[in-house]
């Protein structure tokens, strides 16, 4: 595979709806991804030097209150309103009861309502309308109350 062919593949991938593409041909391999996290590669470089530090590092303490999360029951496209142009099911600060519909997920042309599993207040919306979501991905944070 030559450079020109690789550029054509990259252009077609960038203009497509595909999220990932992997091609293996003889001893050539290319992997393209539009996902937000880049793969981490480890190199096998080792050195025999010793690093000493005169400064003491202070541990960083992060305290986060655990809130309930409403998670995606499936992979699909999330819709925050019942129809285009309509008001969203919920916003940050809205009170929800167990069983209230908070969004819809479309998978394979099937619409599935996602319902709150807890009574409380929506403290954070973690996704945007028409985002692709994964199974068990947090969608909303709910503060009980």
pLDDT tens-digit profile, the chain (145 residues): 677 888 888 888 888 888 888 887 776 778 888 776 544 454 454 445 455 555 555 555 544 445 689 999 999 999 999 998 999 999 999 999 999 999 999 999 899 999 999 999 999 999 999 999 999 999 999 998 7
Q: What is the pLDDT of residue 18?
A: 80
Q: What is the pLDDT of residue 28?
A: 72
Q: What is the pLDDT of residue 26?
A: 73
Q: What is the pLDDT of residue 82?
A: 93
In the chain, where does the domain assigned CATH 2.40.50.100 lie? 68-144
Q: What is the pLDDT of residue 64?
A: 46
DSSP for the chain, written as a single string: --HHHHHHHHHHHHTSS-SEEEEEETTEEEEEE-SSSPPP-------------SSPPPPP-------EEEE-SSSEEEESSSSTTSPPS--TT-EE-TT-EEEEEEETTEEEEEE-SS-EEEEEE-S-TT-EE-TT-EEEEEEE-
Q: What is the pLDDT of residue 56?
A: 54
Q: What is the pLDDT of residue 19?
A: 81
Neighbours of 15 (CB within 10 A): 8
Q: What is the pLDDT of residue 4?
A: 83
Out of 2.40.50.100, 3.40.50.2000, 1.10.1040.10, 3.40.50.80, select the CATH number for domain 68-144. Answer: 2.40.50.100
Which pTM was predicted?
0.54
Neighbours of 69 (CB within 10 A): 16
């Amino acid at each position: 595979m030559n450079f020109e062919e690789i550029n054509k593949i990259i252009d077609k991938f960038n203009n497509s709806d595909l999220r990932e593409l992997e091609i293996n041909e003889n001893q050539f391999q290319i992997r393209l991804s539009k996902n937000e996290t880049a793969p981490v590669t480890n190199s096998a470089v080792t050195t025999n030097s010793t690093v000493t530090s005169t400064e003491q590092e202070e541990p960083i303490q992060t305290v986060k209150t655990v809130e309930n999360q409403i998670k995606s029951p499936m992979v699909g496209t999330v819709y925050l309103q019942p129809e285009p142009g309509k008001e969203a099911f919920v916003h940050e600060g809205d009170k929800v009861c167990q069983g209230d519909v908070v969004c819809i997920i479309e998978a394979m042309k099937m619409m599935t309502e996602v319902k709150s599993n807890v009574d409380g207040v929506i403290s954070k919306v973690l996704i945007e309308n028409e985002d692709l979501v994964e199974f068990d991905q947090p969608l909303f944070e709910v503060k009980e109350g």
